[in-house]
Amino acid sequence: MAIESVNPTTGELIKAYDAMTDDQVETFVEQTHRTFLAWKRIEFSVRTAAMHNVARILRERAAEYGKLMAQEMGKPAKDGKAEAEKCAWVCEYYADNAKAFLTPEIVKTEATRSFVTFQPLGVILAVMPWNFPFWQVFRFAAPALMAGNAGILKHASNVPGCALAIETIFLDAGFPEHLFRTLLIGAGKVGAVIEHPLVQAVTLTGSTPAGKAVASKAGDMVKKTVLELGGNDPYIILEDADLEVAASSCAASRLINAGQSCIAAKRFIVVKSIRTEFERRFIKHMKTQTMGDPMDPATTLGPMARHDLRDELHSQVRQCIDKGATCLLGGKIPEGKGAFYPATVLTDVTKGMSAYDDELFGPVAAIIVVNNEQEAIDVANDSIFGLGAAVFTRNLERGERIASEELEAGCCFVNSFVKSDPRLPFGGIRKSGYGRELSQYGIKEFVNIKTVFVK
C-alpha cells in the first residue's frame, strides 16, 4: 500500500510513500517510549531552548512550508506561510509559559505538606487532519512536548510531505531523535496503535465520525482522549450591527482556507429588518475573492483539498436548492482542472436542509432569516455541534451577554470572527468534541494531575 500525495490544483501525483509495516510501527512506538523515559526528566530550560529553536526554524522556512501546503492540499502559499508563522507563535508561547503552567500547586490541609503536581503521561498519539496541516499538529505538539510527553503523529494521508517536514523540524531544533515521530499508515491501522500498551492517550482533530471511532477504541482501552471535531458555526447579525464590519468579517471567516475549517462561519442568522442590506454587502465581499492557482500570490481562494470533497459539497448545495433555498452567488462547478468550487451564497435556508443541519466544508454560506434576537439565539443553538459562534451588535453589553450566557459553544466572539489563539482555550461541546487545546488548559490535558500528601 502506498501513501500518495496528489496536487489538488493539477491532479498530478507529487510523491508516493511506502506505508509502514506493522513491525515498523511497533519499532517506532517502542523507540518513542524509550526516548520519553529520558525526556520526562529533562530540565525545563532544555525544553524551552529546543522549542524556541522550533519557532526560529518555522519562521526561517515559512515560505518553503507555505509552498508545500499549497502543493499537497491547495492552500494559497501565502496563507500557508502565515500558518507556519502562527505555529512559531504557539511554540514560543509554550516555551515561555509551560514551566509556570505546570508549577506544583500548594494546597493547605492537615498534612505537613500537600500539593498537586503535573507529570507527563508518556507517548501521545495525534491523529490530525489536512486542512491546517501544520497548525493542527503544532498546537498539540508544543504543549505536549513541553510537558515532558512524547508524540506520534498519524497525519491525514494526503499530506505526508507536511507530516515528515514537521518531524524534521523537531530533529533540526535539537529535540531527541524518536521523541516526535510520523507514522505513514492508513486510517485502518489507527486502532492498533491506540491499543498499543505504550500509547497512553490520543488526541484527534477531524470529523465527528472519525472522533466517534477513535473515542470508542480509546474507551475500550480506558485511555484519555481530546477530540476537536466538526462545527456548524452560527454568526448572529442583529439589527443594530455595523453591517460593513459584519459582512466583511463573515465573508472572511467563511472563505478562510477555501471554507475548509471547523471554526469557519457557516450559518449566518440575520434579523429580517436588515436582511436585504446585509445580503448586498455580504455578496460584495464574497465576490472579491480571486480563485486560482495557490502558488499565484494573487490567489485568495485555492482549490478544495480533493475532488471527492468538492463533489460532495456541490451535492449538498444542490440538495438545499431543491428544497427551496435561493442561490445568490456561485453554486456551479467551474470548468477545467482542479478541485475548485466558487464562493457560494445560499439564502432562505431552513431546517431540514444540509446548510442548516450539517457542516458544509467548503466556501458555501447559508443565510437564515429570523424575526428577533431570541429567535436568532434559538436558531444558533439548534445544532448538534457547538464549536464556535459569534454575534454582531453595536451594543457591547448586549453582545457580551449573548456570547457568555446564551450561545452554546466552546468559543464565542463579539464583533469578530472565531479564531484560535495560543493564549485562549480552544474546543467545543456536543458533537464538536470535548477537552481543550491551547492556553494553560490545553497543556494540562495530557498530564497526570497528581495529589501528593505528606503527613
Condensed to tens digits (0 to 9), the pLDDT of residues 123-175 reads 999 999 999 999 999 999 999 999 999 999 999 999 999 999 999 999 999 99
Catalytic (active site) residue 64 = no
Cα separations (Å) of 3 from 21, 157, 309, 319?
A: 12, 6, 18, 33
Locus of grid cell 451535492: 315
Q: How far is CA 250 from the centre of its chain?
A: 18
| 338: nearest Cα among 368, 372, 294, 378 | 294
Fold of 2-229+430-454: Aldehyde Dehydrogenase; Chain A, domain 1 (3.40.605)
Quick one: 400 exposed, middle or buried, by C-beta within 10 A (0-12, 13-18, 19+)? middle
Contact 57, 91 (CB under 8 A): no
Q: Which three cell numbers stand for residue 338?
A: 482542479
Q: How far is residue 225's CA from residue 125's CA, in Å, rounded to a whole number?
A: 10
Q: DSSP character for 324?
A: T
Q: Is 228 a catalytic residue?
A: yes
pLDDT in tens, 420-441: 999 999 999 999 999 999 999 9
Report which of 237, 188, 223 is spatially closest to residue 25, judged by C-alpha positions.
Answer: 188
Exactly one of 262, 320, 411, 412 is catalytic; name it: 262
Same fold, 2-229+430-454 and 233-414: no
Q: Which residues neighbour 104 within 8 Å (Cβ) at sequence distance 6 or greater? A: 115, 116, 117, 118, 452
Nearest CA to 387 out of 206, 203, 127 is that of 206
29 neighbors 36 (Cβ within 8 angstroms): no
pLDDT of residue 250: 98
Q: What does pTM read for this prediction? A: 0.96
Domain ranges of the chain: 2-229+430-454, 233-414
Which residues of the chain fall below pLDDT 50? none
- Percent with pLDDT over 90 in the chain: 100
Instruction: Check residue 1 and give its pLDDT.
Output: 73
Burial code (b: 16+ CB inside 10 Å, e: under 16) for 328-353 equals bbbbebeeeebbbbbbbbbbbbbeeb
Give the strand pairing for 233-237 and 388-392.
Answer: parallel
- Active-site entry in 83, 92, 167, 228: 228
Task: Return phi, psi of residue 176, to 5°.
Answer: -60, 145
Question: Regarding beta strands 2-6 and 388-392, do their DSSP bridges make them parallel or antiparallel, or are they unpaired?
Answer: unpaired
Percent of the chain as helix, strand, coil, to the nearest 5: 45, 20, 35
3.50.50.60, 3.40.50.620, 3.40.309.10, 3.40.50.2300: CATH of 233-414: 3.40.309.10
Cell 477531524 belongs to which residue? 206
Torsion of CA 130, 133, 136, 142, to 10 degrees: 150
Whether 74 and 156 have beta carbons less than 8 Å apart is answered as no
